[in-house]
Every structure is written in structure tokens, then in C-alpha cells.
Amino acid sequence: MLNRLKQRFAATTLVSAALTMAWRSHGRTNNELVTSLRRNGVYHSERVAEVMLAVDRADFCGSNPYLDSPQSIGYNATISAPHMHASALELLLPKLVNGSHVLDVGSGSGYLTTCMAHLVGQNGVVVGIEHIPQLVNLSLVNIRKNHSQLLDSGRLKIIEGDGRLGYPADSPYEVIHVGAAADSLPQTLVDQLAVGGRMILPLNANDVRNGQRYVQVDKVSDTEIQTKDLMGVIYVPLTSVEHQIGRR
């Protein structure tokens, strides 16, 4: 028992240290940013490095693209900090293989959606669903700067719709990424997750003092899921168009 507690404490300490260092992971170029994130322990996989080098954040972020902090993209939406994108890719990487179906809820700028589309190979399908029509258009412009082949081939789709409802047409999904904080685990998205699939999302904690938690959900069977609390995060809420636009 003592050894298990020590291992758990050590793992928590390492995660906390990596997150502390993450906010220092800036760069003057995309290459410098990706290198800095790796040096600070935010990710370790070569595939994550390759895809983040291939997808230049400046194509998707109009200001301070290489600063490791979230940036506004308008309409009370943000592009997440680079360390959160790197963490998400690392967590989802085992499921991001050739032929995987992926759903990105709240696809926003299109950055992470594009990264995942590169990782699922020619036989994969990645669907970004975004409920703000102006952000749908923005993401398509962003993607076409250097990755139009993903759209033209059908490997990557950007859909206007309510991400809380998922997108049944291309389900089940081996991967679901949710880019906004839900009050509880969305059963509709769990239902669209394939057996053996993985979803990551921020959840609002029941205790307000604990803020939001980043949670990994693995679907073991049609009737069983396993959840893992990963870390504390801060995300915009998963909500309706009207509430998002009206938020102050």
C-alpha cells in the first residue's frame, strides 16, 4: 500500500511539474514551440512532435501563435494553449491510428482537428463540429492555407452543429475530444464512442473549489466505461450558441 501511495504521489508530482513548466513553453517559431513543449515534458511521442511541426499554429491563431497560453478567436471562444493541445494528442495517440473515426466537439479554429486528421491516415475520418457559423468558416479558411488536401479527400470534415449532440452519421468514434467544459459526462457522446474508444473532456467539478477537471473516458463495453481524473484545467463552457454569444 505504501509503495502504491508513493508511486501515485510521484506521478502526481511529475504531472504538476510538467504543467508548471508548460506555461514556459514559448517559442519564436513553431519549431521552437514544439521543441520547448517536449523539453518541458508536456509530451514524449515522436508522432506528436511530427504532427505539431507539420501543422503550424500560426495558420490557426491570429495573434501570439507561439505563446503557450489560450488566445481569443472571437465569439467568446479560444484556441487552447499549445500545452493542452500537446497533452490531448499524447493522451489520444494510442487510438489515433490509420482508419480511426474521430469527433472533435467545439472544433473552433480547426487546429487540433487538423492535427488529428494527419494522424488517422488515409482511411481515417475526423469530424470537427462547431456551433458558431463564423468559426466554421474561419476554420475552413485556416485549414485551406496548407492542408486543403485533408478537406478535398474527405478525411477531414467541419460541420456546423450542436456538439453536445455529437454527430451520429460517422459514429462510432474511436476518439472523441471535447474542447469545452461540460457540467456532467454527456451520455450522448458516450453512446457514440466505440467500444475500445477514448474520450477526453473537461468537466466542471461538483465542488466549485476544485474548478474543472480534465477527464479521460475509456469505453470498455457497451455498458461499462472507465474514467480517469487527469488534472485541473480552465476551459470555456460547453453550452448553446445563444449562451456563448451572450456571455460576458
Q: What is the set of active-site residues?
A: 80
Residue 77's DSSP bridge partners are 74
| Site of grid cell 508536456 | 42
Cα gap 217→247, rounded to integer Å: 29
Q: How many Cβ atoms from other residues are within 10 Å of residue 9's Cβ? A: 10
Q: How many degrees, rounded to 5, is the angle at CA 104 between CA 100 and CA 105? A: 145
Q: How far apart are CA 67 and CA 79, in angstroms?
A: 12
List CB contacts of 122: < 8 A, sequence separation 6 or more: 98, 153, 155
Supply the DSSP string of 140-193, one letter for each residue. HHHHHTT-HHHHHHTSEEEEES-GGG--GGG-SEEEEEE-SBBSS--HHHHHHE
CA nearest to 113, candidates 69, 168, 179: 179
Beta-carbon contacts of 78 under 8 Å, excluding residues fewer than 6 positions away, are 70, 71, 72, 108, 236
